[in-house]
Amino acid sequence: MTSHLVDKFWPNVKRLGVNECWPWIAAKTGSGYGVICQSNEVILAHRVSYVINVGTIPAGLCVLHRCDNPPCVNPLHLFIGTIRDNNIDCVRKGRSNFSNGESHCRSVLTERDVRHIKQSKDPVRYLGLLYGVHFSTIARVKRGEIWAHVK
């Protein structure tokens, strides 16, 4: 992180209380995340904040918001996670535009089917044939990796 980038960063942050969100007041993405430019590269402001205030972001990892406030750059509100962690966090906080369950355009199963699958003691291969899906889909339903919203 160059000192030039650090110098560009702080004037665009509205520092409020220690535990409050610190909104980025300059350019933002369409989703509201702050952006800062360095050498024709656009960098997300919350990632810059993390590096300045906490340290290096390991390769391939994301910087997530505890506060669920995209323009926030308060390092106390930021944490490291995988892409999977980020996607789970997004869904949990209701920000995803993912269709799931029966509303997904490629859904074969219904919620009624899923309730039966979750309760069934039948082998996953048998259930896959019964419902017209691959047995691995049945296994993922049973593990709660998909259709987790159906109890």
Q: How many domains does the chain have?
A: 2
SS3 27: coil
- Domain CATH for 67: 3.90.75
The answer to whether residues 39 and 113 belong to one domain is: no
Enclosing domain of residue 124: 101-143
Strands 62-65 and 78-81 come out as antiparallel
d(CA 49, CA 95): 22
pTM of the model: 0.64
Full pLDDT tens readout for the chain, 151 residues = 677 788 899 999 999 889 999 999 999 998 899 999 888 889 999 999 999 999 999 999 999 999 989 999 999 999 999 999 988 888 787 776 666 778 777 889 999 999 999 999 999 999 999 999 999 999 999 999 889 888 8
Residues in contact with 13: Cβ distance below 8 Å, sequence separation at least 6, in sequence order = 22, 23, 24, 25, 45, 49, 73
Residue where a domain terminates, one of 73, 92, 111:
92
The answer to whether residues 48 and 106 belong to one domain is: no
Decide if 148 is inside a domain: no
